[in-house]
Structure 1
Amino acid sequence: MKPVLLFLVSTAWTLTGAQYYYQGLMDYLENRLLAIEDRMQFWHEQSHRYHTELKDFKKLTTEAMDALSKEHSLLFKDLEGASVRVDRVEREMDYVESQTSPRACANKADKVVEQGAWGLEESRGEEEEEKDWEEVQSKVSDCVEILSGIRSVKILKRVGSPKGMWTRDPRSSKVYVFNGTSGDSIYQFNSVRDFSSSLGVSSSREIRLPSEFSGTGSSVYNGYLYYIQQEDETDVQVVRFDLMTGMVTDIAMFPVESHALVYSLNPETVADLAADNEGLWLLYAASDNEPNIHLAKMDPDTLDIEQIWDTRCPRENAEAAFVVCGTVYVVYNTRLASRSRVQCLFDVNDMIVSEEAPLLYFPRRYGAHASLKYNPEEKQLYGWDDGYQIIYRLTMKRKLLV
Structure 2
Amino acid sequence: MTSILWIRFVVLNCAIYLICNSEAAEECVYQYDMKNNRVKISCEKGAAIHIVDKDGISLARHTGINTETIPIIVQLNRSSISSLNDEAHKATKKLSDASKLLRKVREDLTLQINNLINLTTLLQRGDDELKNDLNTLRRHDLTSPLAREAIIAALQNQYNFLRMGLLSQNTQMNELIRTTMRLTTSIMKTARGARGVGEILDLRADVMNETLFNITKLMPGGFEHGTFFGEKTVFCPQELKKISKKGTSVTTGVEQGAIMLDSHTPENIWVMYGYVDINEVTQFDSLKSLKFEKVQKIFELPFSCVGTGHVVYKQVLYCQKMFTNKIAHYSLAESRWIGERPLENVSVHSHFPYQSGKNTDLDFAIDEKGLWLIYSTNNTHGDLVVSKVNEEDLSFDGTWVTQIKKKDVGNAFIICGILYTINAFDTAPTHINYVYDTNKGKGKRLEPDELEFVNAVENDYARVYSLDYSPSDQALYSWNNGRIEIYPVSFLDENEP
Contact 1:338/1:368 (<8 A) preserved: no
Larger radius of gyration: 1
Matching residue of 2:484? 389
How much is the aligned-residue C-alpha RMSD, in angstroms? Answer: 2.5
Matching residue of 2:250? 157
- Counterpart code for 1:343: N
Matching residue of 2:383? 292
Q: Assess, with a 3 A threshold, how the Cα gap between structure 1 residues 306 and 364 changes in structure 2: closer, same or farther.
A: closer
Q: Assess, with a 3 A threshold, how the Cα gap between structure 1 residues 264 and 287 changes in structure 2: closer, same or farther.
A: farther
Deviation string 1:284-307 (CA, Å, 9 cap, x unpaired) is 010297131101111112211111
Contact 1:166/1:389 (<8 A) preserved: yes
Matched, 1:348 2:348: no
Deviation string 1:94-122 (CA, Å, 9 cap, x unpaired) is xxxxxxxxxxxxxxxxxxxxxxxxxxxxx
Q: Assess, with a 3 A threshold, how the Cα gap between structure 1 residues 153 and 211 changes in structure 2: closer, same or farther.
A: farther
Alignment of 1:185-200 (within 5 A): 185-196=280-291, 198=292, 200=293
Choose from 230, 237, 248 the match for 2:337: 248
> d(CA) in 2 for partners of 1:164 and 1:288?
29
Alignment of 1:32-43 (within 5 A): none
Matching residue of 1:80? none
> d(CA) in 1 for partners of 2:376 and 2:495?
32
Matching residue of 2:85? none
Matched, 1:171 2:261: no
- Counterpart code for 1:208: E
- Counterpart code for 1:179: Y
> d(CA) in 1 for partners of 2:225 and 2:352?
30
Q: Assess, with a 3 A threshold, how the Cα gap between structure 1 residues 174 and 393 changes in structure 2: closer, same or farther.
A: same
- Counterpart code for 1:150: I
1:364 CA drift (Å): 5.0
> d(CA) in 2 for partners of 1:313 and 1:145?
22
Q: Assess, with a 3 A threshold, how the Cα gap between structure 1 residues 286 and 400 changes in structure 2: closer, same or farther.
A: farther
- Counterpart code for 2:433: Q
Q: Assess, with a 3 A threshold, how the Cα gap between structure 1 residues 400 and 323 changes in structure 2: closer, same or farther.
A: farther
Matched, 1:371 2:371: no
Which 10-residue stretch deviates more, 152-161 or 206-215? 152-161
Choose from 259, 265, 273 the match for 2:364: 273
1:212 CA drift (Å): 0.8
Matching residue of 2:305? 213
SS at match of 1:153: coil
Matching residue of 2:274? 180
Contact 1:383/1:390 (<8 A) preserved: yes
**TM-score normalised by the chain length of structure 2:** 0.48
Query: Tell me, which stretches of 5 or more residues in structure 1 are unaligned?
Result: 1-139
SS at match of 2:289: helix
**TM-score normalised by the chain length of structure 1:** 0.59
1:340 CA drift (Å): 2.8
Matching residue of 1:302? 393
Contact 2:400/2:441 (<8 A) preserved: no
1:161 CA drift (Å): 1.9
> d(CA) in 2 for partners of 1:168 and 1:181?
18
> d(CA) in 2 for partners of 1:293 and 1:397?
26
Deviation string 1:229-267 (CA, Å, 9 cap, x unpaired) is 13x4xx311111101111111211112122322413233
Alignment of 1:70-149 (within 5 A): 143-149=236-242
Query: Tell me, which stretches of 5 or more residues in structure 2 are unaligned?
Result: 1-223, 227-235
Deviation string 1:190-241 (CA, Å, 9 cap, x unpaired) is 1223223x1x3x63422111111110010111111111113x4xx3111111
Choose from 330, 355, 372 the match for 2:421: 330
Equivalent pairs, count: 256
1:157 CA drift (Å): 1.7
SS at match of 1:274: strand
> d(CA) in 2 for partners of 1:250 and 1:397?
39
- Counterpart code for 2:354: Y
Contact 1:168/1:375 (<8 A) preserved: yes
SS at match of 1:316: helix
Q: Assess, with a 3 A threshold, how the Cα gap between structure 1 residues 187 and 290 changes in structure 2: closer, same or farther.
A: same
> d(CA) in 1 for partners of 2:307 and 2:453?
23
- Counterpart code for 1:251: E
Contact 1:338/1:364 (<8 A) preserved: yes
Deviation string 1:25-82 (CA, Å, 9 cap, x unpaired) is xxxxxxxxxxxxxxxxxxxxxxxxxxxxxxxxxxxxxxxxxxxxxxxxxxxxxxxxxx
Give the structure, 1 or 2, with the largest relative contact order (CA under 8 Å, sep 6 or more): 1
> d(CA) in 2 for partners of 1:316 and 1:162?
21
1:344 CA drift (Å): 0.4
> d(CA) in 2 for partners of 1:204 and 1:311?
40
Contact 1:340/1:368 (<8 A) preserved: no
Matching residue of 2:122? none
Deviation string 1:131-158 (CA, Å, 9 cap, x unpaired) is xxxxxxxxx9862101100135333321
Q: Assess, with a 3 A threshold, how the Cα gap between structure 1 residues 228 and 194 changes in structure 2: closer, same or farther.
A: same
Q: Assess, with a 3 A threshold, how the Cα gap between structure 1 residues 311 and 349 changes in structure 2: closer, same or farther.
A: same
SS at match of 1:333: coil
1:185 CA drift (Å): 1.0
Q: Assess, with a 3 A threshold, how the Cα gap between structure 1 residues 329 and 141 changes in structure 2: closer, same or farther.
A: farther
Contact 1:163/1:180 (<8 A) preserved: yes
Alignment of 1:9-88 (within 5 A): none
Matched, 1:222 2:314: yes
> d(CA) in 1 for partners of 2:466 and 2:495?
30
> d(CA) in 2 for partners of 1:291 and 1:252?
21
> d(CA) in 2 for partners of 1:340 and 1:356?
12
